[in-house]
Amino acid sequence: MVDRPRKPSALATTPGLPPQPQVAFSADNSSVTATLPTGESVSVLLYGATVVSWKDKKGEEKLWLSEAARLDGSRPVRGGIPLVFPVFGTAPDHAQTKALPQHGFARSSRWEFLGKSTSESTPTPTTPAFAATATSAAGAVAAAAADMSVKLDFGLSSSGLSEDARAKWPYAFNAIYSVTLNTDSLTTNLVVTNDDDKSWECQVLMHTYLRVDDITTTTISGLQNATYTDKTTSPISSSTQSSPLLTISSETDRVYTPAGDSPASVPIVVSSDNKPKFTILRDNLSNVVVWNPWVEKAQGMADFEPKDGYKQMLCVEPGAVGTWQVLEPGDAFEGAQTIVLGGKTE
């Protein structure tokens, strides 16, 4: 590259405006990372639109990612937040999805990065942030930066699928997946539209691998009185969660439907040593899958490393998988999760 002796200098930061979120591609254009001015970050692999990292302002990772996870597009990622669509697991008796591989094709297709958008909540004379910093313009700028968020949008359509995927699921669709990073939360939102001239059915799930300190001191609340199917039994059994707290002490693979008239409105809280670590809020996702492979299952998975990694991970997966979502031509399905750090829900 020719060095221009009179090239323009970098623009200085505009006085009075807070620093802006930064978005950057990896050197090989395989992933995109967004970083807030306060230090929080999220990284999304274009392969599968898989969130592979979410860090707080201290740089502490909130998601579990296998050390043997393939990030080169050769197979679905073990860890992070893989996206399940249009089928959860396998469905050999479902005509439209029976030919698809486990968890469908969304997590194994390359998505297009559609762009980013940012927002901020500017302190006003009626807000505590303004009152605390009213004597300092720099403080007001810092407060505005702390309230900033960044949203990354990704797209996938039927025309972007592999020939194999289109042959196995020959329906026209368009999907927009948004990942929004806030200072204390991460939101993933999927909108799927039926662009076909006939109806089709689907299931959706966000396969979230949370990083926990110690699975033996981890509890899950918000599932009391929820019905669930236990996929570790043969045949698969159904039951109801009687205890207010769910603990993990063996292989766990359950599909819960939280109780209540609006099951998707029930917060799910993951705690460590009785202290809330994550609060999962759901929108139009009425099921919650709880999964941990434990000792034997972890040993049998080639891409699960370290083998005792089950001690530091817990999958809590919001989804719409209890029934099939029927989309008529032109219809859209939208579902989202927000993972809030700690017990804060507002």
Active site annotation includes 346: no
**Which string of DSSP letters, residue by residue, matches 13-74?**
PPTTSPPPPEEEE-TTSSEEEEE-TTS-EEEEETBTTEEEEEE-TT--B-B-B-TT---SSS
- Cβ contacts of residue 256 below 8 Å, gap of 6+? 223, 226, 227, 228, 241, 287, 288, 289, 290
Which one is catalytic: 163, 317, 328, 334? 317
Gap between the Cα atoms of 50 and 192, Å rounded: 17
Query: For residue 328, how many other CB atoms are within 10 A of its CB?
Result: 10
Q: Is 75 annotated as a binding residue?
A: no
* Alpha carbon distance 21, 41 (integer Å): 9
How far is the C-alpha of 263 from the C-alpha of 223, rounded, in Å? 10
207 is catalytic: yes
Radius of gyration of the chain (CA): 22
Distance, CA of 178 to CA of 336 (rounded, Å): 9
Q: Closest by alpha carbon to 259, among 272, 268, 251, 271? A: 268
Residue 166 is assigned to a ligand binding site: no
Backbone φ/ψ region at 80: left (φ over 0), alpha (ψ -120 to 50), beta: left
In whole angstroms, give the CA distance from residue 323 to residue 183: 34
Alpha carbon 181 to chain centroid, angstroms:
11
Structure tokens at 238: 């159904």
Of 207, 328, 334, 346, the active-site residue reads: 207
Would the annotation count 102 as a binding residue? yes
Alpha helices in 270-339 (DSSP H): 294-299
Cis amide linkage into residue 318, ω under 30° from 0 = no
Binding-site entries: 78, 102, 107
Binding-site entries for substrate: 78, 102, 107
Residues labelled catalytic: 207, 317
